């Protein structure tokens, strides 16, 4: 349950911020991570930042996801295999 994805905080104004998720800029509420600052990696769930991530570890996760996506592109997976990268956020399905 509870899909959450790491994203980087770009701008911040009070409790409202904007994160960069795979190049898509999304609004985020930071009331659960009040000390978040632009440049921080946050875990985003249903429009809320629920935790700050360690930058090095978040970067490693990000790099692994990117590598996996590239590997999947180079070597097409058999039918039915899902990509390992988190899907870009869509409306709903954020639980």
By the criterion CB under 8 A, which residues form the site for other proteins?
Answer: 1-4, 29, 31-34, 43, 45-48, 50-51, 53-54, 57-58, 60-61, 64-65, 67-68, 71-72, 75, 77-82, 84, 89-95
Of 9 and 53, the one with the shorter C-beta distance to other proteins is 53
Q: How far is the CB of 47 from other proteins (least distance, A)?
A: 3
Query: DSSP string spanning 12-77?
Result: EETTEEEEEETTEEEEEE-TTSTT--TT-EEEEETTEEEEEEPHHHHHHHHHHHHHHHHHHHHSPP
Q: How far is the CB of 49 from other proteins (least distance, A)?
A: 10
Three-class secondary structure assignment of 65-90:
HHHHHHHHHHCCCCCCCCCCCCCCCC
Q: How far is the CB of 66 from other proteins (least distance, A)?
A: 10
Q: How far is the CB of 57 from other proteins (least distance, A)?
A: 4
**Count of Cβ atoms closer than 10 Å to residue 33 Cβ:** 21
Of 20 and 67, the one with the shorter C-beta distance to other proteins is 67
């Amino acid at each position: 349950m509870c899909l959450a994805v790491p994203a980087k905080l770009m701008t911040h104004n009070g409790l409202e911020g904007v994160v960069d998720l795979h190049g898509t800029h999304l609004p985020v509420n930071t009331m659960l991570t009040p000390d978040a600052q632009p440049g921080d990696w946050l875990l985003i769930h249903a429009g809320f930042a629920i935790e700050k991530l360690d930058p090095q570890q978040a970067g490693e996760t990000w790099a692994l996801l990117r590598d996996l996506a590239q590997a999947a592109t180079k070597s097409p997976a058999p039918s039915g295999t899902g990509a390992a990268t988190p899907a870009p956020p869509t409306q709903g399905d954020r639980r």
